[in-house]
């Protein structure tokens, strides 16, 4: 089946719009994760400040919650991995969109 030039142009515009939507989503996700990580850092600093005068309580709680803390660590590592992967994806999407703009 032969496609007309107009159909190819419409398909190209559709693909370009989908790339823009995906790039917007990636940027929004990055912004949300930036806020999440900043708040996580604030919570960590508050915990350190709180437990400065209570080292025994901190030790007991760390031992008691060790399995839970390991799961949280795995989740944090996964978020960092996804964050780096998202940055690369945004670079690739920008390159693809630049190709469309140069055509």
- Could you report the per-residue pLDDT of 83-98, keeping only the tens digit for each? 999 999 999 999 999 9
Q: Is the pTM of this model over 0.75?
A: yes
The three-state secondary structure class of 21 is: helix
pLDDT digits (tens, 9 = 90+) for 30-86: 999 999 999 999 999 999 999 999 999 999 999 999 999 999 999 999 999 999 999
Assess contact for 83 and 33: CB atoms under 8 A.
yes
pLDDT of residue 13: 83
pLDDT of residue 100: 81
């Amino acid at each position: 089946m032969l496609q007309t030039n107009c159909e190819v142009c419409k398909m190209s515009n559709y693909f370009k719009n989908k790339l823009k939507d995906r790039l917007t989503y990636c940027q929004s996700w990055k912004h949300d994760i930036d806020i999440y990580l900043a708040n996580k850092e604030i919570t960590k600093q508050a915990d350190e400040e709180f437990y400065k005068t209570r080292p025994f309580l901190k030790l007991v709680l760390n031992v008691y919650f060790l399995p839970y803390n390991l799961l949280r660590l795995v989740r944090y590592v996964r978020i960092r991995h996804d964050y780096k992967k998202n940055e690369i994806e945004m670079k690739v999407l920008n390159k693809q969109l630049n190709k469309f703009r140069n055509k």
